[in-house]
Amino acid sequence: MAEIKIRAEARTEFGKGAARRIRRDAKVPAVIYGHGLDPLHVMLPGHDLMLALKTANALLSVEFDGKSQLALPKQVQRHPIRGWIEHADLLLVRRGEKVTVNVPVVLHGDAEPGALVVTEVTEIPLEVEATHIPESVEVSIEGLAVGSQVLASDLTLPDGAALHMDPDHLVVNITAAPTAEEFEADLAEAEADVGIEREEPADSEDADIAGEGTTAEGEAAPSNDG
């Protein structure tokens, strides 16, 4: 994974008010820590950080005070509605150092017709060298039949990566796609569980009685008495 350069500035103001002022300047308050060093409080350019973190486990080369240090995003807080980055914690790493990170699972191919592909795990924890973090772990489901399963032990890992989870953990499950009737029954059961009551359709005979005496437009039908 390529290193992404980003320039940091010292942060001397703290608290909610200071954080708001930093964000108004299109910057993000952040903390860099690790390797037994005192936490370093900095500001990062918001747009550059947002672009960098579009890549999972982005390896950042943080330039600060005339030095450059490698860091990984450890925790990122985002605005719950707008999604912009409000704060970031970065973990210092060194070349050759092993780290444990969650790597996205990406499926390729198509299972047999009529099969439903259920991804039980979207990320796989791997122990890898800090400067060689894979962007994803690819899983082929091409032609897999109903009843097939992909376990963690079945995954093809990148060179130098070690699985950091139970090898028998289920990653992908291939099941039979539900019929329309089964889907409707499951939906009705789910609605009942949360207290949603469905209206019963009107009986056809009742509908005929209710419709007597009105025209298609809902007006009263003319009388034959006169």
- Tell me the C-alpha distance between 144 and 185, whole Å: 27
DSSP string, 119-180: ES-SEEEEEEETT---S-EEEE-TTPPTT-EEEGGG--PPTT-EE-S-TT-EEEEEEEPPPH
**Residue of higher predicted confidence among 82 and 88:** 88
Tell how far CA 222 is from the center of its chain: 63
Q: What pLDDT is stored for residue 105 in this prediction?
A: 95
| Residues 141 and 197 reside in one and the same domain | yes
**Residues 70-83: pLDDT tens digits?**
999 999 989 888 88
Q: Is the pLDDT of residue 35 over 50?
A: yes
**Residues 149-170: pLDDT tens digits?**
999 999 999 889 999 999 999 9
Contact 144, 115 (CB under 8 A): yes
Q: Is the pLDDT of residue 183 over 70?
A: no
Q: What is the pTM of this model?
A: 0.70
Domain that holds residue 154: 95-210
In a domain, residue 146? The reply is yes
Instruction: Tell me the residue type at 117.
Output: V
Torsion-angle region of 83 (φ positive above 0: left; ψ -120 to 50: alpha; else: beta) = left
pLDDT band at residue 200 under the 50/70/90 scheme: low
| Residues 114 and 204 reside in one and the same domain | yes
Question: In 3-state terms, what secondary structure has residue 105?
Answer: strand
pLDDT band at residue 202 under the 50/70/90 scheme: low
The number of folded domains in the chain is 2
Looking at 76, 93, 110, the residue that finishes a domain is 93
